[in-house]
Structure 1
Amino acid sequence: MLIKREGSLSRVPVAFGPVVEAARERIAGMFGGGRLHSAYLYGSIPRGTAVPGVSDLDLLLALRAEPTEADRADARALGAGLDADFAQVDGAGVVLSSTETLLSELERYDLGWFVACLCTPLLGEDLGQKLPSYEPTSLLARETNGDLGQKLPPWRERVAAATTDVERRALCRFVSRKVVRTGFTLVMPRWGGWTSDLAESAQVFGRYYPERAEQMREAARVARTPSADRAALGVLHMLLDDLGPWLAAEYTAVHGTKAVRPVSP
C-alpha cells in the first residue's frame, strides 16, 4: 500500500485561512532574495482537523543553502509573530532545511518521506515531485523514528531544567507526540498503512502491544491536550522513565536504529 500525501490547502479549516495567508506573505517577505526554494504546511491545519485556539501551526522552509544562524533567527521571529498575531493557533513552529539535505540519499526515508507524504506545498516548486513513492516498510519505520533511545536523555535534562508552565506544557506536547508516533511506526509495517491521527495511532499500537495500550492512550491524550498540571506531568515522566525506554529497546529489536547523521557545526 502506497502512502498518499495526507494534506491539502483545500482542507484548511476556514478559521485558519487568514493564518495560512499571513504565513505565505511573511515567508516570502522574510526569506526573499533567493534564499527560499519552497515552503510547506504540515500537521493538523492542512489535514483539516485543526481546532481554533488549540492547534499549532507547523511550517517547513526548504532553503537553497544550508540554514545559517541568521536564517534560524528569522524563522524564530516568523513563528513568534504568527503565534502572537493569531489567536487561532497555539504556537507556531518553523523547521528549516536545505534542498540538498531534503533530497539526499541519507534523508530519503526520513525528511524526504516527510516532504513527499506529510507536507503540503505553500510556496515554490514542490520537492515532493522529485521524491519516490513510499510504502509502510521496516526501512521507513527505522529511518523515521529509530532514534528514540538517543533522544530520551536530553529530553529528561530539558524537563529537569524547565522553570515555567509554558516550558513544561510545550515539553508535554512535544515528547508525547514523538512517543505516540514512534509507537505507531513500530507496528506500521504490520498494520500496513499510515495515519497521523494520534488517537488512532495509539489504538493501532494497542492491538499489537495490549499490555502497553493504556500508557499509549494516555500519551495520545496529553499530546492532543497538553498541560502543565500534575496529571500531565505525571504522564510525561511515565513516558520518559518507563514507556519510552521500553519502546526504544523494542524498536531497536524490531527495526534497528536510525542511520547516523553528521553532527552540525
Structure 2
Amino acid sequence: MILEKVINKIEIQSEYKDFVDRYIDNVLTEFKDKIHSIYMCGSIPKGTATPFKSDADFTIVCVDPKDIDYERLSKIKDRLLEEYPILTKIDTIICSMDDVLSKPNEWGFWVKIICVCVHGQDIGKQVPPITISPEFIVDLNKETKDEVDRIHHSLSNASDPKMKMRYIKGYSKRLIRALYSLVLENTGVWEDDMVKMKNAILDYCEIDPALVDYLYACYLDSNVGLEEFLGRADEVYCYFENTLNAMAASRNSLY
C-alpha cells in the first residue's frame, strides 16, 4: 500500500491566516535566502484549530540547518506568541533538503506525508511514493528512542508544574504515534487524529488496553502523578521497542 498525504488542501481559518503570513514573513526577513521552503502540519492547515487550545507546527527546509540560528528563531516565536494569544505554542522543526531526499522513510515521510507546503517549492513532491512495509516502519522509528530519552529526561527534571503537564501531554502523544506506526500495515493510512490512532492501536496491537487508555487520558488531561506516569510510559515503550526489534529481526532474516 502507498501512503497518501494527510492534508491534501490547505484550509487555514480566518483567525490564523494573519499569524501564518506573519510567521513566514518574519522567518524570510530574518534568514533571507537561507530558506528553501516552509511547511505546516496539524490542525491549523487542516482548518480544525481551536483558539487558545491549538498550537502551530512549522517545518523549515533549507540547504544547511546550521544557517538557521535557533536563538533568533526563538525570538520570532516569542514575539508572535505575544501578538497572537490564541496560540498555545509555536514549534518549528528544521531539516536540510538532503535529509528529505536521502532519507525518504524518515524526513521524506515527514515532509511528503505529514506536512503541507505553505511557502516555496514543495520538495516533498520529489520524494518517491512511500510503500508501507516493515522496512519503512523500522526506518520511520530510527530516532524514536533518542526522542523518548530526551523527553523522559526533560520531564524527570522539570520543576515547573505547567512544564511537567506539557511534557506529559507531549510524551503521551509521542508514544501513541509510535504505537500507531506499528499497525500501519493493518490500517494502510497515517492518521493524525488521536482518537482514531488510539482505536487502531487497541484493534491491532497486542498491548495491554489499559496502558493505551491511560496514555490517551494523560494526553487529554496531563495533571497526573509523575512517578506513575513515567512507570506506565516505560511499560509502553518497552512493548514498542520489543515489537519494533522483532520487526527489524524479521526483516533482516530475509536478506
Does TM, scored on the shorter chain, surpass 0.5? yes
Aligned partner (choices 159, 164, 168) of residue 163 of structure 1: 159
Q: Is the Cα contact below 8 Å between 1:159 and 1:168 reproduced in 2?
A: yes
Amino acid at match of 2:28: A
Q: Is the Cα contact below 8 Å between 2:57 and 2:92 reproduced in 1?
A: yes
Aligned-partner Cα distance in 1 for 2:146–2:158: 20
Q: Is the Cα contact below 8 Å between 2:59 and 2:94 reproduced in 1?
A: yes
- Provide the identity percentage: 17
Judge which range, 169-178 or 114-123, deviates more. Answer: 169-178
Aligned partner (choices 129, 134, 146) of residue 130 of structure 2: 134
Amino acid at match of 1:241: D
Please give the secondary structure, in 2, of the residue aligned with 1:93. Answer: strand
5 Å-filtered alignment, 1:56-67, equals 56-67=55-66
Q: What per-residue deviation string (whole Å, max 9, x for no partner) do you get for residues 39-87 of structure 1?
A: 111122112332211111000111122324x622222222222223212
What's the Cα RMSD here? 2.3
Normalised by the length of structure 2, the TM-score is: 0.87
Name stretches of at least 5 consecutive residues in structure 1 with no aligned partner.
Answer: 258-265
Correspondence for 1:237: 230
Aligned-partner Cα distance in 1 for 2:12–2:245: 37
Correspondence for 1:199: 195
Aligned-partner Cα distance in 1 for 2:21–2:118: 9
Aligned partner (choices 105, 111, 126) of residue 115 of structure 1: 111
Distance 1:123 1:219, change over 3 A: same
Aligned partner (choices 95, 98, 113) of residue 96 of structure 2: 98
Normalised by the length of structure 1, the TM-score is: 0.84
Q: How many residues align?
A: 250
Q: Is the Cα contact below 8 Å between 1:173 and 1:226 reproduced in 2?
A: yes
Superposition deviation, residue 194 in structure 1 = 1.9
Q: Is the Cα contact below 8 Å between 2:100 and 2:127 reproduced in 1?
A: no
Name stretches of at least 5 consecutive residues in structure 2 with no aligned partner.
Answer: 251-255
Superposition deviation, residue 256 in structure 1 = 5.5
Correspondence for 2:82: 84
Correspondence for 2:253: none
Q: Which runs of 4+ in 1 moved over 6 A?
A: none
Correspondence for 2:209: 213
